[in-house]
Structure 1
């Protein structure tokens, strides 16, 4: 489990600044959630909603040495759900590099999402240009001749189609 350092969002009403990421060791399933403010309660809710309920009770959670994971309250919470909490050290070098790889993957995902959004905006402008054409109104003035064909009732003329 890892907290990606404070980021500066460019848009959005919530202004999320923290990303909490967890990866299942064997399946490499990634769970990530954005937070505007990261507190002990939010981390516990994240563990409960995204780890315990999805993967059942785990044997151990490996975290980095972030302050939010080393608090006594978080240790008590993990002990209460019978999860062994381990901080990542040199004995787990794959975990240290894995967090950076996840961060890069999330950045790539965000870039792909923005590219897809830009393509969508361009396509909408193309469709808008095709549909938003104005119809020029035909107006007739006084003394102007207007041709009108009057057909007798109940007589069909194929040249006029459905209008006869």
Structure 2
């Protein structure tokens, strides 16, 4: 995982995070736009990437139209509270980041192209916000799947 944030940290310590719940919150099983499954493992030959770069709805839209992106999904990552609600995440007491998980075909779109969208699609110098959206859930983050992605993100 590669995480960045500028400015004074406002992250909730683990021992002060909301308790959450043991059962995942029910969500859709297929993507509203693409109709593709949201909860299945990536098909053979596909890879996954995850980015935090502000409000996940706008960020997801940046990726779902890219040729080679099979499906996108939004959620929360890098926090302490298990299975948080939207309201809990917005409270700043879970430690979570709003993220977009991207399942892509590397023969059609490279991970480096996805990184370019990440870097050009938001301002990572804003710290715990993007534009008018403020809070720890809007921080920048690149969450990698393996050493190769980590090296590319660091580069």
TM-score scaled by structure 1? 0.26
Rg larger in structure: 1
> Larger relative CO (CA 8 A, sep 6+): 1 or 2?
2
TM-score scaled by structure 2? 0.27
**Structure with higher strand content:** 2
